[in-house]
Structure 1
Amino acid sequence: MILIITNGEDISALHVMEWINWSKGQFEVMKGDYTLRNTPFSYLLNNEETTINLKNKPLNKVKPNVVFYRRWKSKPYYAGNHSFDPIADNELNTDIARHIENEQLYSDCGFVALLEDAHWLGNFGFRKSEDKIKVLICARQLGISIPPTLVTTQKSELSQFHKEQGTLITKGIHNVTIFSHQDTRYMMYTQEINKTDIEKLPDLFYPSLFQKQIKKELELRIFYLEPEFYAMAIFSQANDQTAVDFRHYDYSKPNRKVPFRLPDKLKKKLKKLMEKLSLNTGSIDMILTTEGKFVFLEVNPIGQFGMTSFPCNYNLEKKIAEYLMKHDV
């Protein structure tokens, strides 16, 4: 049996389920929010056996042979997932929220530990690959080019970096966060930083990441499903709105997207990188420079693959379904 772990909002995972269902495969769906109070969920661990109950139904009547990890909770770990009556002491409220957060996290880690014997596609414990600096270091060690990168809290150091590197960009040190406020969602983007922007900053600020802006011929989104790479070229430079970050979509004038053949030498290095990060799937972002050089940016272990699959006719949803069923033995 295949267990698909998702937050329920991942469209690509739904397409994979459709292919498994069409192929007469067996699967169950586990949403991260099931571990909260709105759905019956429990697991029992004793000296004789382990029992996982989901929606008052024993999950391991048919033990999962393979787990497809896409996403976990629709909200991140924080006490807002559980309600408690706040009190006047704000410091105590913070301590209670932190405690609830840790209880959620380690309850979930315990559940995942019960499935360690299964073959995983995707990795719940992918924190190492979420560490952008760690990933850049790993890529550099394997001879993959990376952009000059600075993490700093000092305006003076940033000014010097700007003088040395020219135009800079800034983006989150961690993964992209989507903020919601009054029924509106706000997305974080990569942003260009110039001298005027730097002059407006205080002398000291919160730790922030800056990189030399690389002149692009095109952007590459590369989906990895071991042992194959499926690359797509994005001609984002043809539109000022998407030139810095193609996710700032221009729906009236979409970027051209075509299949791209990676050099064998680069594929070997990227495969070693994914192995070093213990990832058998993920989405890799790279740039092909105007000088014909490949520059690595980051890897997202649960990156969307539909946006690569459909424009390039890779049919990744079917390939993933076949991969899962192959390992369901």
Structure 2
Amino acid sequence: MILIISNNGDTTTTQVIKYLSAMRKPFIRVHEDEFFEIKTDKKRIYMVSERHQFFLDEITSTWYRRGRLKFKRLSYDNDSINIHMDETQHWLEDYVIKTLESKKTINKQTNSHVNKLFVLEQAQKAGLNVPKYFLAENTDEVVVNTTITKAITENVILDSINKYSDAIIYTSIIEEKEKENFFITFFQEKIEKDFEIRSFYLSGKTWSTAIISQSDEQTKTDFRKYNYKKPNRKVPYQLPESIEQKTHQLMGLLDLNCGSIDFIKSGNTFYFLEVNPLGQFLGLSTACNYSLEKEIAQYL
């Protein structure tokens, strides 16, 4: 039995499930609003929610696509008993998660989110080129027009002034200095790039796509500012073997076996930007005919 933990409306998960269904492989898709109770039956542990029920030893592989396995905790009216109950349930939950992670998995619940600053340090240890970066509370050391800023966290979406849309924090070029101090911010050297590369990594294999974003002012600094009227050209791309080997080493250092990885090419140099274990890849898979959703289904 394959266990898939995902968001309710995630299209990528649905596409992978289509292949699993065609292969007649049994699976359970757990949504982010689903809570499980841990129970036992004849010395076997099983999980129960309003939608699903399965024995822990029935699961052969797990895909942590989005979200996490959530648990419903039981309690009594007596607070002194609840302290013991909470601790016991914590270790039961920990056992369930560790047991699932010991099976064949695509990533793990415990490392589904990565720290970008730590990732950049590990990328340098793996021998990958990383644009120079620093943290600062002011722009005193910032060189205008040759420095960019981006979020330290994963993709940030803010409530927009326009109630009909959200506001995404994109990579931006620093065009003028600030007079006042501010909260700690991530700054990075602006690299003049030939094009961007999005790679999908799965268990030692890498599929890459060149994104020709530089000829469009809207996508020049950050290709996520999609131009839907005139989309960027996307073509299959082969990274140098040395870069793929260093990427494989990096994923090992991060204890990840799957993720979307961003590079930029400038002249003969490839720069590593970031890795997202939960990154989107379906659009690039379609554009390059990679059938990555089939690769995932076969791996599971």
Q: Which residue number in structure 2 is paired with residue 307 of structure 1?
A: 283
1:159 maps to a residue whose letter is: D
2:58 is paired with a residue whose SS is coil
| Structure 2 portions without partners, runs of 5+ | 71-89
* Distance of 1:159 and 1:107 partners within structure 2: 51
Query: Deviation of residue 109 (structure 1)?
Result: 5.8
* Distance of 1:261 and 1:286 partners within structure 2: 12
1:28-67 deviations in Å (ceiling 9; x for gaps): 01112213xxxxx312379944221022642227721100
Residue 97 of structure 2 is aligned to residue 112 of structure 1: yes
TM superposition score normalised by structure 1? 0.78
Residue 202 of structure 2 is aligned to residue 225 of structure 1: yes
Q: Which residue number in structure 2 is paired with residue 266 of structure 1?
A: 243
1:208 maps to a residue whose letter is: T
2:101 is paired with a residue whose SS is coil
TM superposition score normalised by structure 2? 0.85
Residue 147 of structure 2 is aligned to residue 172 of structure 1: no
Instruction: Identify which range, 227-236 or 180-189, moves more after superposition.
Output: 180-189
Please list, as runs of the form range in 1=range in 2, the aligned pairs for 1:209-288 lying within 5 A after superposition: 209-288=186-265
User: Could you tell me whether the CA contact under 8 Å between 1:223 and 1:308 is conserved in 2?
Assistant: no
| CA RMSD, Structure 1 to Structure 2 (Å) | 2.4
User: Could you tell me whether the CA contact under 8 Å between 1:286 and 1:294 is conserved in 2?
Assistant: yes
1:239 maps to a residue whose letter is: D
1:7 maps to a residue whose letter is: N
* Distance of 2:62 and 2:119 partners within structure 1: 24
Aligned identity (percent) is 34
1:196-250 deviations in Å (ceiling 9; x for gaps): 2x23x41x21111010111010000000011210000001001000001000001
* Distance of 1:117 and 1:111 partners within structure 2: 10
User: Could you tell me whether the CA contact under 8 Å between 1:33 and 1:72 is conserved in 2?
Assistant: no
Residues 27 and 257 of structure 1: CA distance in aligned 2, closer, same or farther (over 3 Å)? same
Residue 293 of structure 2 is aligned to residue 317 of structure 1: yes
Which consecutive segments of 4 or more residues in structure 1 shift more than 6 A? Answer: 105-108
Give 1 or 2: higher helix fraction.
1
* Distance of 2:135 and 2:248 partners within structure 1: 27
* Distance of 1:187 and 1:118 partners within structure 2: 36
Residues 314 and 49 of structure 1: CA distance in aligned 2, closer, same or farther (over 3 Å)? same
* Distance of 2:92 and 2:196 partners within structure 1: 39
Q: Which residue number in structure 2 is paired with residue 144 of structure 1?
A: 128
* Distance of 2:51 and 2:11 partners within structure 1: 26
